[in-house]
Structure 1
Amino acid sequence: MKIAEIYKLIVQKGMEADPRGLAEVQKLLDKNRKKFEELKPEEQAEFDQEQLSNPYSDTRVLYGDDEREVKTILAGIDIEMGELLLAEHLAVKGKKIDLVLAHHPEGKALAALHDVMHLQEDILYKLGVPINIAEDIMSSRIAEVKRGLSPLNHNRTVDGAKLLDLPLMCAHTPADNLVTTFLDRLFAERKPETVGDIIKILKEIPEFKEAVKVNAGPTVFVGSKERRAGKIFVDMTGGTGGSEDAYAKLADAGVGTIVGMHIGEKHRKEAEKAHLNVVIAGHMSSDSLGMNLILDELEKQGIEVLCCSGLIRHKR
Structure 2
Amino acid sequence: MVLSTEDIMQISLDLVGWDEVPADSGIHVRADAVETALVGIDLESPEIQLAEREGYDLVLAHHPPGGDPRVNFAPVLDRQVEFMTAHGVPEERAEAAVADLRSRMEHAGHSANYRHDPSIAEHLDQPYMNVHLAPDEIGRRRFREVADELADDATVGEFADALDEIPEIEEALTDAELRLGHRDNDLGEVAIHHAAGTNGGSEVASAYFDNGVDTVLYIHIGSGDTATLQEEYGGEGTNLVVTGHIASDAIGVNEFIDALEAEGLECDTVSGCDIGR
Q: TM-score, normalised by structure 1?
A: 0.80
Share of identical aligned residues, percent?
A: 28
1:74 aligns with 2:38: yes
Give the match's secondary structure for 1:73: strand
Residue 27 of structure 2 corresponds to residue 61 of structure 1? yes
Partner-residue secondary structure (3-state), 1:150: helix
Q: Identify the match of residue 299 of structure 1 among 246, 249, 261.
A: 261
Deviations 1:31-53 (A, max 9, x none): xxxxxxxxxxxxxxxxxxxxxx3
Q: Is the 8 A contact 1:230 1:255 kept in 2?
A: yes
Q: 1:200 and 2:132 equivalent?
A: no
Equivalent position amino acid for 1:302 in 2 = G
Runs of 5+ in structure 1 lacking a partner? 17-21, 27-52, 92-96
Give the total of aligned pairs: 269
Distance in 1 between the 2:147 and 2:202 partners?
25
- Contact 1:247–1:270 (Cα < 8 Å) also in 2: no
1:6 alignment partner in structure 2: 8
Pairwise mapping of residues 1-316 of structure 1 onto structure 2 (< 5 A)? 1-14=3-16, 16=17, 53-54=20-21, 56-65=22-31, 68-91=32-55, 97-107=56-66, 108-191=68-151, 193-211=154-172, 214=173, 216-242=174-200, 244-272=202-230, 273-274=232-233, 275=236, 276-314=238-276
Give yes or no for contact 1:77–1:103 (8 Å, CA) kept in 2. Answer: yes
Instruction: Report the alpha carbon displacement of residue 165 of structure 1 after superposing the two structures with TM.
Output: 1.3
TM-aligned CA deviation for residue 313 of structure 1: 4.6
Q: Deviations over 1:220-244 (max 9, x none)?
A: 2122222222211112121122253
Q: Give 1:44's aligned residue.
A: none
Partners of 1:262 and 1:280 within 8 A in 2 = yes
What TM-score comes out, normalization by structure 2 length? 0.90
CA contact (8 A) 1:137 1:243 kept: no
Change in 2 beyond 3 A, CA 1:244/1:314: closer
Query: Please, which moves more after superposition, 187-196 or 229-238?
Result: 187-196
- Gapped runs of 5+ residues in structure 2? none
Contact 1:285-1:312 within 8 A present in 2 as well: no
Amino acid at match of 2:82: D
Larger RCO of the pair (alpha carbons < 8 Å, separation 6+) = 2
Retained in 2: the 8 A contact 1:83–1:309? no
1:306 Cα deviation from its structure 2 partner: 0.5
Deviations along 1:150-171, one digit per CA (max 9) or x if unpaired, are 2111221111111121111111
Contact 2:74 2:105 in 1 (8 A): yes
